[in-house]
Structure 1
Amino acid sequence: MTSPFSLPAVLNPPMTSREAVVDALYRCVMAFDTADTALFDSSFMPDGVFEVNRRAMEGLPEIHDIGLALIFKLDTTHLVTNVRVHMRTGTTKAGAAEEENEASLTATVLVQHFAGGKGMEPGQKSLMSGSLYRAELTRDMDGLWKFRHLQIKSTWMQGDYSVIGGNFSEMGQ
């Protein structure tokens, strides 16, 4: 489902490679906040790995069935900061630099979680988390940067775990 708050995956004017790598993260978290499957899929390789607190989901079907099924049922706001990007280039056989097609990214993300449809109701239980994100990305055939592996490590939680249906720290068990 698309959201009126989601822009298209390809923006105009074209971004620099570094901006486009960061945009993969922005597409991903905006998709979390708007339950926009198409926008999420534009940020992930079909065989990508989505790992939350050592719980790995492999490939878009499993990510949809487990990860997005949990996230999309919540009212969330993801705030991304401290983004760092490392671009990698290779060389051709002739010794010329190749185009940048691989990158690594780190970021810090704060998330506020409420039960779906309850975020605007006074006095609702909530769960706030602080997490570190680490990712490996590739420029896909469509020109978009996408996650091959997105790893999320929650470093703290404050609030009521029942909002998300359990304890994030137990996801890897």
Structure 2
Amino acid sequence: MSSSFCLPAILNPPMTSREAVIDALYRCVTAFDSADTALFDSSFMPDGVLEINGRAMQGLPEIHTTGLALVFSVDTTHLVSNMRVHLKTGSTQAGAAEGGNEASLTATVLAQHIAGGKGMEPGQNSLMSGSLYRAELIRDMDGLWKFKHLQIKATWVQGDYSVIGGNFSEQ
């Protein structure tokens, strides 16, 4: 499902490599907040790994049924800051243009979670988390930077775990 709050995966005018790497994370968290599967998929390689607090999901089918099913079931807002990008010069991927096709990214993310459909109701329980993100990315054949591996480590939480169905470490 796509959302009217999401721009297309490929933006115009073209971005610098650093901006395009950062945009992969923006596409991912915007997809979390808008329940936009197509936008999420534009940020991940089909065989990519999403790891949350040590729980790894391999490939888009498992990520959809396990990770996205949980995230899309709650109302969320993810705020991204402290992004750092390392472009690996001289790296190549089969079929991709020569040079600069691999990157690493780190970021800090604050995420607010409220039970699905209840976000605008007063007095709702919520769960706020502060997390560190670490990613390895590759430039795909379509020119978009996509996650090979996105690791999310919640460093603190505040609020009611029942909003997401239990403790992060148990998910």
Q: Deviations over 1:102-138 (max 9, x none)?
A: 0000000000000000010000000000000000000
Q: Distance in 2 between matches of 1:2 and 1:90?
A: 35
Question: Is contact 1:154–1:169 with CA below 8 Å preserved after alignment?
Answer: no
Question: Is contact 2:27–2:39 with CA below 8 Å preserved after alignment?
Answer: yes
Q: Distance in 2 between matches of 1:68 and 1:35?
A: 8
- Specify every segment of 5 or more residues in structure 2 that has no aligned partner in the other structure, as ranges: 93-97
Confirm or deny that 1:34 pairs with 2:37: no
Deviation at 1:169, TM superposition (A): 2.3
Give the TM-score taking structure 2 as reference length: 0.95
RMSD: 1.1
Question: Is contact 2:91–2:102 with CA below 8 Å preserved after alignment?
Answer: no
- Quick one: structure 1 residues 122 and 100, their matched pair in 2 at CA, closer, same or farther if it must change by over 3 Å? same
Q: Distance in 1 between matches of 2:161 and 2:26?
A: 25
Q: Distance in 2 between matches of 1:91 and 1:133?
A: 22
SS of 1:85 mapped into structure 2:
strand
- Specify every segment of 5 or more residues in structure 1 that has no aligned partner in the other structure, as ranges: 93-97
Number of residue-to-residue matches in the alignment: 166
SS of 1:81 mapped into structure 2:
strand
**Alignment identity in percent?**
81
Question: Is contact 2:139–2:146 with CA below 8 Å preserved after alignment?
Answer: yes
Give the TM-score taking structure 1 as reference length: 0.94
Q: Distance in 2 between matches of 1:59 and 1:24?
A: 17
Corresponding residue number in structure 1 for 2:110: 110
Larger radius of gyration: 1
Question: Is contact 2:91–2:101 with CA below 8 Å preserved after alignment?
Answer: no
Question: Is contact 2:44–2:147 with CA below 8 Å preserved after alignment?
Answer: yes
Q: Which runs of structure 2 are paired with 1:113-152 in the superposition (5 Å)?
A: 113-152=113-152
Q: Distance in 2 between matches of 1:114 and 1:59?
A: 27
